Amino acid sequence: MVGLVGVLGAVAYVVVPQVLPPGPRPLFQMPVGCGETWQLGTYPGHGDNDVDFFPLKGDPWGQPVLASYAGTVTVAGINGSLGGRTPENPEGPRGRGGGYWVKIDHGGRWETQYLHLLEPPMVQVGQRVAQGQQIGRIGSTGNSGAPHLHYEQRAGWRKVETWFDGRPSGITHDDTEYTVRLTSNNCAAAGN
C-alpha cells in the first residue's frame, strides 16, 4: 500500500502542468478595414468560437486583411494544401486546411489566426506588426467554399469568443448556422 501511494504521488507530481493564466484581453479590433460593415457567421461543425468574415460591399476577393492588434508574427505560410480556388476560377479544386494563413502572438498568451488568404502572407515569421497593419488579402485557399476570412482568437491553449472593440461578437457555438453584422473600428492605421 505504501508502495502504491508512493507511485501515485510520483505520477501526480510529474503530470501537474505549470498552468499560467492568460493576461488581460487585448483591445482587439476586427481584422478588416476601418468603418466597413461585415457579416460574421458560423455553421454546424465549424468549431465553437470560429468566425467566418464576409464583406457586405464589393468583391470579396483581395480585400485587405488587417492585424487585430499589435504583435509578433509566429506563422506565415501554408496550412494543409492550397487547392485551386482563385478569382479567375472560383469553383476550382478545394484544398485542405487553412491554406495561406497567419498567426500573431499578442503577448500575455493571446493569439489571433487568419486563414484562407488569397496569396502568400504579406508578413514574415518574427516580424512585428502594428494594429491595423495589412497582413494579407481575402481569398479561398485551403478548405474554403467561397472567398472569406476564417478568424480565431485564442487565450492560452483555448479558442475563446472573439471580442472586437471591447465587446463580445456573439459568435460562440457552432450547433446551428447564424450570423451577426459588425462595423470595424480597426482605424489605428487609417492614415497609413
Residue ranges binding Zn ion (CB under 5 A) = 52, 150
The three grid cell numbers given for residue 149, joined into one nine-digit string: 476570412
Least separation, in Å, of the C-beta of 100 and Zn ion?
Answer: 14
Q: Which is nearer to Zn ion, 178 or 188 (CB)?
A: 178
The three grid cell numbers given for residue 179, joined into one nine-digit string: 450570423
Report the 10 Å Cβ neighbour count for 13: 8
Which residue has the closest beta carbon to Zn ion? 150
Least separation, in Å, of the C-beta of 80 and Zn ion?
Answer: 13
Q: Which is nearer to Zn ion, 140 or 186 (CB)?
A: 140
Q: How far apart are CA 65 and CA 63, in angstroms?
A: 7
Q: What sign does the CA torsion over 111, 151, 32, 87 have?
A: positive
Q: Which is nearer to Zn ion, 27 or 31 (CB)?
A: 31
Q: Which is nearer to Zn ion, 144 or 186 (CB)?
A: 144
Task: Answer yes or no: are the C-beta atoms of 180 and 170 closer than 8 Å.
Answer: yes
Q: Which is nearer to Zn ion, 99 or 121 (CB)?
A: 99
Return the ∠ at Cα 148 (arms to 22 and 83), rounded to 5°: 105
Task: Answer yes or no: are the C-beta atoms of 41 and 178 closer than 8 Å.
Answer: yes
Least separation, in Å, of the C-beta of 125 and Zn ion?
Answer: 23
Least separation, in Å, of the C-beta of 191 and Zn ion?
Answer: 31
Least separation, in Å, of the C-beta of 52 and Zn ion?
Answer: 4
